[in-house]
Structure 1
Amino acid sequence: MRLGIIALAVSSTLAIPAVQAEELQPGFEKIEIIGSRIALRTATDSVAPVDIITAEQLESTGMTETAKALQFAAPSYSFPFSSVTDGSDAVRPASLRGLSPDHTLVLVNGKRRHGSALVHLSGTVGKGSSNVDLNAIPMTAIKRIEILRDGASAQYGSDAIAGVINVVLKDSDQGGSISAQAGQTYIGDGEQWRVGVNHGISLSDDGFVNVSLEAHHKDSTNRAGLDERKQYNDLPDGSADPREATFNRKSHQVGDAEYDNLGLFINAAQPITKDGKLYAFGGISQRETKSGAFYRRALDARNLTEIYPDGFLPQINPKIIDASLVLGYEFSLGEWNIDTSAGHGENSFNYNIVNTLNASLGPDSPNEFDAGTLTTRETNLNIDASRYFAFANDSEILFATGVSWRQNGYQIEAGETGSYINGGYDNRAAGSQGFTGFTPESQVDETLDNTGVYVELENQLTNEFYWAAALRYENYSDFGGNTSWKLAGRYDFTENLALRGTINTGFRAPSVQQLYFSNISTLFNPDPVTGQLVPIESGTFNTLSPVTKALGINELDPELSQSFSLGLVYTNDTGLALTLDAYQISIDDRIILSSSVTPNDSPAVAAALAGTNAESARFFINAVDTRTRGVDLVVSQDFDIGSWGDLRANLAYAYNKTEIQDINFPEILDGLGPKLFDSIEQTRMTSATPHNTGNLGLTHELGDFKTNIRLSYFGDYTVGYSTGDVNYSDQWVMDLSVRYAATDALSFTAGVQNLFDVYPEKRPDDNNFGGIFVYPLTNTPFGFNGGYYFLEAKYTY
């Protein structure tokens, strides 16, 4: 991938004050940034909005997960909390500008990063999508994160509809750091610790190897209410079972999953000629989590009292392995700068279900199962070349071109037989409780590939006017070709004030997960009368399935977008930097995972499901056209307060709103349209993420002390339930940390997240399943763990 070079102050601010490259002071360095190739003075000189999140900013949040730290550093990025959502408890969805998680392209050191194998199937934001797991990249390894808030498919290819996130790895060739953090919630659960080590090694001829190792453990949290339901059958004389009085009514586990993660990342480069450099980077991580499903009562037909006399809580205990490696060679050939690279990444998600049973196997049923494994693979080959040519008005034009080839693969391996089989015992429920294993019919091992070619032009025509253009064509083995383009311009009215804008088209190819994922599993839908959860065998069918073909569902097509942005940039000599950008993103043929339909809904559905074990069907389909409009504001200011020290202030605000423009279904399903994309799904797409988010950060330095105060705002949001939509009000959350530099090398930090112990609004009484689910299970912007305090020590050498 291509990156432009700018001179940028590396500081803990989102918007960087204008600093001339030739006037850089100690502590500043030249860095590369996404979105442009031309050397610029500052981030505010860019033609599109770019956020720079430094390692210091990420660390100052006190967050132990990369994605969560990024959410609190950049309001346009959302990482909502979810619980009791199967695999999504382990890999939560994240999104940019309120769009789907798979509308954001993620790069590492400018190279495309592979996605997670998990498909979000439960009621989370981005249902039916898969996203890159940023938490597989240790925070210890990160030098900075760049967020390009603009459509960039013409520059970087598929998925860059909402923007691009580029994770830049540390590249120091000497020294390093050791850090350790520990903390827990105010309530006393959720204890966690994290240890990170980073070390730089110098090689000959200005080469380096930078190694990062991180271990992270987190205990679960639990904010479930009491289960007041009847737990045991009455005694023969009709009286209540005495165990009702002693049963632990906090039977569910609703909160953070138990979590263990170990990650290793390496970044290296070695010049081998005057104008040539070999580079390599990559890493491996292993994560295991354990989260609760729905509790099975002793009297439940899905339980066997011979195994669990008091009922049981099935636990989903996945093992996730993520690995990647990129090798490349940069060199000059005459006037050309050339970058060749090859990269490969894999992510596997193995479902282990523990503290469970398969009731249809009877009292001899095992109590844990391997329910199958999802694996995604991605291979990228790139050749990029660029050079300058003389152009009009005595300027130079940068010409860049390149060719890329990518192969994506997806595999589903069936679980062990006991995880899905119907053993026939007493007409009891089949499959492992909590998550039914993947059957042999769900197994798949498929690949697709695409080839892309692009050209880009960039030109600083005059001191005031800059323009850029990009054109990209990609051809996919499954659906054919697509062409996208981009035009961008910037005009500086004065040294302080500029106008910038972009217009572009984009696309997102159907992911291999959406093309090939298939499974029959037990879902729990609320009874419209009693509100009790009723199990139903639900089939998710891919476009290869006879079920989808019988229903007239076509092969998936790419999503197509059209984007516009217009922004103002203002800077002055006092250290003030302000950017204000408005945008509109229209997306046609968005891919959704439909709501479930049953044989009772249509004779066509009944015929399609005949011969399967599924009682309902859902599928991926191009069905929705949307329009998203928004505004991003970023302001930073440095204050000189004399003997009181130094003060930096940062204000960031993001507004976005998505509206559904049209809904289209195949002719055979027209009559089921309202059910296939019902009000719950429409609310999830348009209102489940707050339209308004923002934060105000203050950093004060005085002597050996640095204090960070962050006030984060999360606007109201809506969750769709079977009983109707529920709106949850906006909330403010404050974080505070104080760092003390004991020596030049050793520092200690004490901090509190959610200082005032803020919780989201509770679920309404008629929709909390008898008080068990106190808070919304999905989409809460900052979670429902309450306040959290931590201590951290860091030694830098």
Structure 2
Amino acid sequence: MKPYTKKRTTSDAIPFSRLQLSSLIATLFITGLSPVAFAQVSADSDAAQVIVTGTRSVKRTVSDSEAPIDVLSNKDLQNTGSLELGTALARLLPSLNFPRPAVADGTSSNRPAQLRGLSPDQTLVLVNGKRWHTTAVVNVNGTAGRGSSPADLNTIPVSAIERVEVLRDGAAAQYGSDAIAGVINIILKKGAEGGEIQLGGGRTSQGDGNQRSISANFGTKLGDKGWARWTVEQKHQGDTNRAGPDLRNPLEPLYGRVNQKQGDPDLEQTQFGVNAGLALSDDLELYGFLQYSQRKTDAAATWRTAYSSGTTLRSPLYPQGFLPNLAANNEDVSAVLGLKGKTAGWRWDTSFNSGSNSFSLDVNNTANLSLGAASPTSFYAGKLKNTQTLLNLDAATELDIPGLSNPATLALGTEYRRDQYAISAGEASSYSGSGAQGFSGFQPSNAGNFQRHNLSFYANLEAEISRQLSASVAVRHENYSDFGKVTSGKLSARYVVVPELAFRAAVSNGFRAPSLAQQNYTISTTNLITINGSSQLVDTGTFGVATAAAKALGAKPLQAETSRNLSLGTVWQPVRNASLSVDAYQIDIDKRILYSGNLVLPASLQSLLAKQGVLVGAARYFANAFDTRTRGVDVVGTYQWQLADKDTLGLTLGYNRNTTSVSGVAANPDILTQNNLTLIDKQTIERATLSSPKDKLSLSADYASGAWNLHTQVTRYGSFVSPQNNPALDQTYSANIVADIAVSYRTGRWKLSAGIDNLNDKYPDKVTSNGNLNTGGTLPYSTFSPYGFNGRYLYAKASYAW
């Protein structure tokens, strides 16, 4: 890979001159000729349903949106059979990837989701249109989304959700940072009437992964003019294990046994929420919501053999070897309180939004090897906490502009945001000496409280220029206290050729601010690293870019990622009950932030860091690493059949294909070049560009007959690559087809359901024994598998509604 040589402008903004805009639109039409990819929408969603994502208009619907948007109902989510929102969305949206990593520290508990193959933190998550906070966990292991700290979708219970709107287009000019790949807006149930209690359970066909859940969602009145919608959910997930026998060393006491664990962690999660509104007058409403989630997980680290070398005992406490256990406690709290109304022809909304995510960790069934027989076997490793606080004011009005077929919508707004990130140290024995095996604790030198703030202003204008043509323009300016100013703009349009056929297009620029976690996350721990083709446990330090250790290795302050989004699509509705949409897109991202490769330090650099009190054999830090171009297409097709005797059949086709290419790589720091080290190596780049499926096809059918409903879905997951720095060790995993089926029966207020996920019991290819971190066959499956590696899962549910 050639060093990055592309010149950058000194301004963070990307200006839109007439010449540049013409060039971008021309490129947009060229992009439409690129290889095609597709994404999915609910088969039973109404094309005339009013949407709230990506628009400030009060009458924008799915069918007349100027950008592709999927609307998924609670019924759609429930039909997947999953208790997790992330998994449900991945089954419904071919453009969304949600793998199940294992043996990956905090990532095993907080799994990230990818939209359009981009980084998980390049998708913005909203709840009721309000920005949702991101997780405190930094994904620092070799998984999808390595280096990201995205929002945790699984902190929101499925039973609380009315619908999910997924905008597949850049929207930084409308919502600010992170909205490069798109926006996921989760709309909560509302109203005082009705409710539902649901019980569920299931297990894999191998007899593990037992799940059970109970949830309740119901409404109550608040006085005469108010309502509150309550949600309570409790669920348990037993662990799964698909590890292989350990055949590496015949001298080991437990040679030939399955000592490692590779699969889902043991999980207990409690969730509570309330969504409420109170009319104070005809034109004034007080509203708010509160969401709380506590998730406790027990996940396995890497098996420690009895002997460190030859017949030298690793720890006198474990003469047969030991498997460290990571017990994580993840607490997530979000609260929004707002007031909205109408004044002098303006609709306005002002709100206070506070959210936080904390992650604390205990390491059990382990030892600090430097303490010998005196070592404890359990350690408190420390805590991470991410907090977001926002104040915003939005206002919109309709303008009668001469020559327009309908009034235009003008929206203005401002927002103040404060971000905080904190690292708290663990107990001294967790990090002193060799530290706790499995996860060395956060040291006092790692601990700290970091914060920043930013102020933004936006304007948006939407208009129907004629009966055939609608268009909108948006601009947003933000000023961050740590890296400066950035301006984003967006122009979109929709043209109706005939009532059955319309074209839509959008061009925008955007950005993603480096997270405080990426700027400041610092820890030293033991990691499994491939060195000269073999997997070895190495003490590895991750250093915030402002630390002396990172600076000594060439680190520079992080800048914002900047993007340019182009899309061109068509919507065809030949008859009322059938539709087809095709949307091609191109996303260019400059200065993408990556977590560096494992820099295995030579003696000279180890000595340099030792003088600062840092004792590690390898190092990592974040950097603005490279520029990329992602091209693809999303397509959705739906058809509703009205059969005899009022039976109905709904069919949905969805397909996504996208490719990401590298257009430039940042220059390697001089200090690393002098020591034959590469900051952004082949494996780091290709994890970000090749490890998600290159395409995904889904076909689903929903048949309703009286009290019976049948849902079937077949999904083809395309091939993906698990890259290594040595190209000869790369492994390409073949495409696979996974089938799901569910049936339900309604009698009175009761609904009984049963289903089978992965009906054909499909597993991904096994990791070959060529050095791809399978540690001699004990870890046989890739963490990049888009459908995991648990095999067939059977479940049943019963619900009572009123």
The offset of 1:666, in angstroms, is 5.5
Which residue of structure 1 lines up, in the alignment, with residue 496 of structure 2?
Answer: 492
Checking the alignment, whether the CA contact within 8 Å between 1:358 and 1:366 is kept in structure 2 is yes
The DSSP-based 3-state class of the residue aligned with 1:70 is helix
Question: Which amino acid counterpart does residue 438 of structure 1 have in structure 2?
Answer: F
How far apart in 2 are the matches of 1:12 and 1:590? Answer: 30
Checking the alignment, whether the CA contact within 8 Å between 1:79 and 1:781 is kept in structure 2 is yes
The offset of 1:528, in angstroms, is 2.0
The offset of 1:206, in angstroms, is 3.3
Question: Which amino acid counterpart does residue 54 of structure 1 have in structure 2?
Answer: S
The offset of 1:308, in angstroms, is 1.8
How far apart in 1 are the matches of 2:697 and 2:503? Answer: 23
How far apart in 1 are the matches of 2:196 and 2:115? Answer: 31
Which residue of structure 1 lines up, in the alignment, with residue 778 of structure 2?
Answer: 772
Q: Deviations over 1:538-559 (max 9, x none)?
A: 1111122012223442211100
The offset of 1:600, in angstroms, is 2.1
Aligned counterparts, 1:68-147, within 5 A: 68-147=87-166
Q: Deviations over 1:650-687 (max 9, x none)?
A: 11111111111100135525737972222211221111
How far apart in 1 are the matches of 2:753 and 2:41? Answer: 16
- Residue 747 of structure 2 is aligned to residue 742 of structure 1: yes
Q: TM-score, normalised by structure 1?
A: 0.92
Checking the alignment, whether the CA contact within 8 Å between 2:668 and 2:680 is kept in structure 1 is no
Aligned counterparts, 1:387-402, within 5 A: 387-394=397-404, 395-402=406-413
Checking the alignment, whether the CA contact within 8 Å between 1:15 and 1:578 is kept in structure 2 is no
Which residue of structure 2 lines up, in the alignment, with residue 283 of structure 1?
Answer: 291
- Residue 719 of structure 2 is aligned to residue 716 of structure 1: yes
Which residue of structure 2 lines up, in the alignment, with residue 581 of structure 1?
Answer: 583
The offset of 1:596, in angstroms, is 2.2
The DSSP-based 3-state class of the residue aligned with 1:71 is helix
Aligned residue among 527, 539, 542 for 2:541: 539
Q: 1:644 to 1:469 in 2, by over 3 A?
A: closer
The offset of 1:62, in angstroms, is 0.3
How far apart in 1 are the matches of 2:418 and 2:225? Answer: 34
- Residue 798 of structure 2 is aligned to residue 787 of structure 1: no
Aligned residue among 684, 691, 695 for 2:694: 691
Checking the alignment, whether the CA contact within 8 Å between 1:285 and 1:322 is kept in structure 2 is yes
The offset of 1:764, in angstroms, is 1.2
Q: Deviations over 1:166-212 (max 9, x none)?
A: 01111031220000110000111111111110010122343110000
How far apart in 2 are the matches of 1:303 and 1:348? Answer: 37
How far apart in 2 are the matches of 1:459 and 1:303? Answer: 74
Which residue of structure 1 lines up, in the alignment, with residue 381 of structure 2?
Answer: 371
Which residue of structure 2 lines up, in the alignment, with residue 729 of structure 1?
Answer: 734
- Residue 356 of structure 2 is aligned to residue 354 of structure 1: no
Q: Deviations over 1:361-383 (max 9, x none)?
A: 12121111110000000001000
Aligned residue among 423, 440, 460 for 1:436: 440
Q: Deviations over 1:593-617 (max 9, x none)?
A: 111224329x667535543112222
How far apart in 2 are the matches of 1:644 and 1:177? Answer: 26
- Residue 765 of structure 2 is aligned to residue 761 of structure 1: yes
Q: 1:54 to 1:202 in 2, by over 3 A?
A: same
Which residue of structure 1 lines up, in the alignment, with residue 20 of structure 2?
Answer: none
How far apart in 2 are the matches of 1:669 and 1:654? Answer: 42
Checking the alignment, whether the CA contact within 8 Å between 1:487 and 1:504 is kept in structure 2 is yes
Which residue of structure 2 lines up, in the alignment, with residue 240 of structure 1?
Answer: none
How far apart in 2 are the matches of 1:617 and 1:295? Answer: 22
Q: 1:769 to 1:666 in 2, by over 3 A?
A: closer
Which residue of structure 2 lines up, in the alignment, with residue 26 of structure 1?
Answer: none
Which residue of structure 2 lines up, in the alignment, with residue 418 of structure 1?
Answer: 429
Ranges in structure 2 where 5+ consecutive residues have no aligned partner: 1-39
> Which stretch shows the higher mean deviation, 96-105 or 662-671?
662-671
> Which stretch shows the higher mean deviation, 586-595 or 353-362?
353-362
- Residue 171 of structure 2 is aligned to residue 152 of structure 1: yes
Which residue of structure 1 lines up, in the alignment, with residue 523 of structure 2?
Answer: 519
Checking the alignment, whether the CA contact within 8 Å between 1:196 and 1:212 is kept in structure 2 is yes
Q: 1:273 to 1:231 in 2, by over 3 A?
A: farther
Question: Which amino acid counterpart does residue 13 of structure 1 have in structure 2?
Answer: S
Which residue of structure 2 lines up, in the alignment, with residue 506 of structure 1?
Answer: 510
How far apart in 2 are the matches of 1:370 and 1:670? Answer: 35
Which residue of structure 1 lines up, in the alignment, with residue 193 of structure 2?
Answer: 174
Q: Deviations over 1:755-792 (max 9, x none)?
A: 0100001111334332212211x110001100000010
How far apart in 2 are the matches of 1:303 and 1:341? Answer: 60
Which residue of structure 2 lines up, in the alignment, with residue 4 of structure 1?
Answer: none
The offset of 1:574, in angstroms, is 3.8
Q: 1:371 to 1:150 in 2, by over 3 A?
A: same
Runs of at least 4 residues off by over 4 Å? 14-19, 301-305, 603-606
Q: CA RMSD in A?
A: 1.9
How far apart in 2 are the matches of 1:625 and 1:766? Answer: 30
Q: 1:779 to 1:408 in 2, by over 3 A?
A: same
Checking the alignment, whether the CA contact within 8 Å between 2:41 and 2:92 is kept in structure 1 is no
Which residue of structure 1 lines up, in the alignment, with residue 277 of structure 2?
Answer: 269
Aligned residues: 754
The DSSP-based 3-state class of the residue aligned with 1:311 is coil
Question: Which amino acid counterpart does residue 317 of structure 2 have in structure 1?
Answer: I
Checking the alignment, whether the CA contact within 8 Å between 1:296 and 1:303 is kept in structure 2 is no
How far apart in 2 are the matches of 1:673 and 1:95? Answer: 33
Question: Which amino acid counterpart does residue 469 of structure 1 have in structure 2?
Answer: V
Aligned residue among 451, 454, 457 for 2:458: 454
Aligned residue among 610, 615, 618 for 2:617: 615
Checking the alignment, whether the CA contact within 8 Å between 1:528 and 1:722 is kept in structure 2 is no
How far apart in 1 are the matches of 2:44 and 2:197? Answer: 29
Q: 1:41 to 1:157 in 2, by over 3 A?
A: closer
The offset of 1:461, in angstroms, is 1.5
Aligned counterparts, 1:112-261, within 5 A: 112-230=131-249, 232=251, 243=253, 249-261=257-269
Question: Which amino acid counterpart does residue 608 of structure 2 have in structure 1?
Answer: A
Checking the alignment, whether the CA contact within 8 Å between 2:50 and 2:61 is kept in structure 1 is no
Q: 1:309 to 1:681 in 2, by over 3 A?
A: same
The offset of 1:113, in angstroms, is 0.3
Checking the alignment, whether the CA contact within 8 Å between 2:506 and 2:568 is kept in structure 1 is yes
Ranges in structure 1 where 5+ consecutive residues have no aligned partner: 1-10, 20-29, 234-242, 423-429
Q: 1:623 to 1:770 in 2, by over 3 A?
A: closer
Between the two structures, name the one with larger relative contact order (CA 8 Å, sep ≥ 6): 2
Which residue of structure 2 lines up, in the alignment, with residue 237 of structure 1?
Answer: none
The offset of 1:389, in angstroms, is 1.4
Which residue of structure 1 lines up, in the alignment, with residue 598 of structure 2?
Answer: 596
Which residue of structure 2 lines up, in the alignment, with residue 313 of structure 1?
Answer: 323
Q: 1:490 to 1:443 in 2, by over 3 A?
A: same
- Residue 364 of structure 2 is aligned to residue 337 of structure 1: no
Which residue of structure 1 lines up, in the alignment, with residue 654 of structure 2?
Answer: 652
Checking the alignment, whether the CA contact within 8 Å between 1:231 and 1:299 is kept in structure 2 is no
Question: Which amino acid counterpart does residue 698 of structure 2 have in structure 1?
Answer: N
Checking the alignment, whether the CA contact within 8 Å between 2:540 and 2:618 is kept in structure 1 is yes
Question: Which amino acid counterpart does residue 786 of structure 2 have in structure 1?
Answer: P
Which residue of structure 2 lines up, in the alignment, with residue 478 of structure 1?
Answer: 482
The DSSP-based 3-state class of the residue aligned with 1:122 is coil
Checking the alignment, whether the CA contact within 8 Å between 1:52 and 1:144 is kept in structure 2 is yes
How far apart in 2 are the matches of 1:186 and 1:128? Answer: 34
How far apart in 2 are the matches of 1:385 and 1:727? Answer: 51
Q: 1:305 to 1:522 in 2, by over 3 A?
A: closer
The offset of 1:221, in angstroms, is 0.4
The offset of 1:526, in angstroms, is 2.9
Checking the alignment, whether the CA contact within 8 Å between 1:628 and 1:657 is kept in structure 2 is yes
- Residue 11 of structure 2 is aligned to residue 13 of structure 1: no
How far apart in 1 are the matches of 2:731 and 2:655? Answer: 25
Question: Which amino acid counterpart does residue 349 of structure 1 have in structure 2?
Answer: F
- Residue 664 of structure 2 is aligned to residue 635 of structure 1: no
How far apart in 2 are the matches of 1:344 and 1:571? Answer: 42
Task: State percent identity of aligned pairs.
Answer: 37
Q: 1:162 to 1:645 in 2, by over 3 A?
A: same
Question: Which amino acid counterpart does residue 705 of structure 1 have in structure 2?
Answer: W
